[in-house]
């Protein structure tokens, strides 16, 4: 049967969705050190990078893609997927045009969450904290490292504004591409790198018996002594 026929065989949408298999199948969850283990890093960055390496080796498609969650001026949550650009001792880095909705939301309420989900491995990482603008040099480097097409789109696009004519968009991108080709070091004035400075980072590993593993790192109250790592109930 086709996917549409399979769906039609159920009495309602809820029954069909409930019948879709979950990802928590296979071998029991392993690979997540817990408090007391000598393998547990003192801070979450090394463990995150290890999991990202595992996802790359396993062939996970776009393992560096994350969901960025913000809050708008009305208090409503918003979310979108984007690319992780770097991970440093300071935090998790991403970038955006300052004319975008997410940039306006971050300026008004400089806090966010990043969620990474590697379905094939049953792993998830959530990073929550304040958000800071990167300096001019960091933003410029990020812009120049983009592909020629991505630079042209970033320079030309009035992101999230209403588009009434696709031809206008295409013309703007062509004009931006020509300008960038003529001046290779040119950087869009509206391109911005952002750093999510983590207050909490949680690692989750799915288990077929619902005995999911959860490990949360939280900044210590004074922020000077590092991180407190705790296992959490599934």
Residues of each annotated binding site: 80-85, 102, 124, 159-160, 204, 214
Classify residue 144 as exposed, middle or buried by CB count within 10 Å of its CB (0-12, 13-18, 19+). Answer: middle
Query: Which residues make Cβ contacts (< 8 Å) with residue 53, sequence separation at least 6?
Result: none
Q: How many CB atoms lie within 10 A of CB 47?
A: 22
Which two structure tokens, joined as six digits, stand for 162? 């209403």
Q: Check: CB of residue 90 under 8 Å from CB of residue 138.
A: no
Distance of alpha carbon 13 from the chain centroid? 30
Query: Which residues make Cβ contacts (< 8 Å) with residue 22, sequence separation at least 6?
Result: none
Binding-site residue positions for FMN: 80-85, 102, 124, 159-160, 204, 214
Which two structure tokens, joined as six digits, stand for 179? 């300008």
CA–CA dist 181, 142 (Å, integer): 17
Q: Check: CB of residue 23 under 8 Å from CB of residue 212.
A: no
């Amino acid at each position: 049967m086709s996917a549409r026929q399979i769906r039609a065989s159920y009495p309602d949408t809820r029954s069909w969705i409930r019948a879709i298999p979950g990802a928590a199948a296979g071998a029991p969850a392993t690979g997540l050190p817990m408090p007391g283990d000598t393998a547990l890093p003192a801070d979450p960055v090394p463990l995150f990078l290890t999991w990202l390496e595992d996802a790359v080796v396993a062939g996970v498609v776009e393992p560096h893609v994350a969901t960025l969650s913000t809050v708008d001026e009305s208090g409503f949550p918003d979310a979108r997927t984007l690319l992780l650009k770097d991970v440093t001792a300071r935090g998790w880095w991403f970038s955006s045009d300052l004319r975008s909705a997410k940039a306006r939301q971050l300026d008004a309420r400089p806090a966010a969450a990043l969620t990474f989900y590697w379905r094939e491995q049953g792993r998830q990482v959530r990073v929550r904290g304040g958000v800071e603008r990167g300096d001019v040099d960091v933003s410029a480097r990020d812009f120049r490292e983009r592909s020629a097409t991505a630079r042209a789109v970033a320079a030309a696009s009035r992101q999230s504004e209403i588009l009434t004519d696709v031809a206008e968009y295409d013309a703007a991108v062509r004009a931006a591409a020509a300008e960038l080709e003529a001046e290779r070091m040119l950087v869009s004035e509206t391109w911005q790198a952002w750093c999510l400075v983590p207050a909490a980072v949680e690692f989750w590993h799915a288990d077929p018996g619902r005995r999911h593993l959860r490990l949360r790192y939280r900044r210590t109250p004074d922020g000077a002594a590092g991180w407190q790592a705790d296992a959490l109930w599934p």
